[in-house]
Amino acid sequence: MTLSIRNIIPIIKANWFGNNDISIIDTISIDSRSLQNGENTLFFAISGPNHDGHQYIEELISKGVQNFVVTHFDENHKSKANFLVVENTLDALQKFATFYRSQFDFPIIGITGSNGKTIVKEWLYQSLFDDYKTVKSPKSFNSQIGLPLSLLQIGKNDEIGIFEVGISKPGEMKKMEEIFSPEIGILTHIGAAHASNFESEEQLIDEKLKLFKDSKTIIFNGDNELVYRKIHELYSSKKLISYGLQNQNHLYIKNDCNDR
């Protein structure tokens, strides 16, 4: 998808300062080292605990980048590039990814859980890509930054998407669900990963299950009794498919071999 700066301003609720509001954008970047950075790149200056994308703006301008999403900028650069000023650049990236996803009409699978997200994603991809043009999260891109970047990889010919979603503390999943609502939700194993940031296993499960608010089908590990009960309490109107080792599940492993 190709958009102009003028198109993008209302999507991310930005104020524009610069020299060319019809500048064309065909690439999104948050990495100053990316080889894709160029004249038609929109660079989101993400601020984190260890790095601040704003500090690379002058260097990027010298390399030909003309378009930036920022919270602030040097007035001396105003005539050299376009600046879309927002309150929060990560929030702006998420807004843009949400808009971008909305332009495509094909089913998406969302995978969450404490463990196993990436391997389940890769298994599904290997099972589907021969029959469907399939897009997936690269590596373990499942964070507040990784998920939007994954969605921005969607292409016009894609027929199905597989994206993993990770959280590390309460309150994060609501934002992830707002970025994209998977038609099919998969909940893998619930374990100790990131559990230290939650008051209880129940709070962790409740947070994970928010991803499936608008899903039509939910596939989950039903061996966890709390997961099994919570999903049936919250989502009994949806199509539920459980798997595991216990015979209460729709799909379960059964050992009929007799000891000899």
pLDDT tens digits, one per residue of 103-121: 999 999 999 999 999 999 9
pLDDT of 256 > 80? The answer is: no
Q: What is the pTM of this model?
A: 0.91
Any long-range contacts for 1-7 (C-beta under 8 Å, 24+ apart)?
1/26, 1/100, 1/103, 1/156, 2/26, 5/42, 5/67, 5/82, 5/84
pLDDT of 224 > 50? The answer is: yes
Strand pairing report for 67-70 and 41-44? parallel
**Highest-pLDDT range among 20-34, 123-137, 184-198:** 123-137
The reported pLDDT for the residue numbered 260 is 46
User: What is the number of other CB atoms lying within 10 angstroms of the CB of residue 58?
Assistant: 13
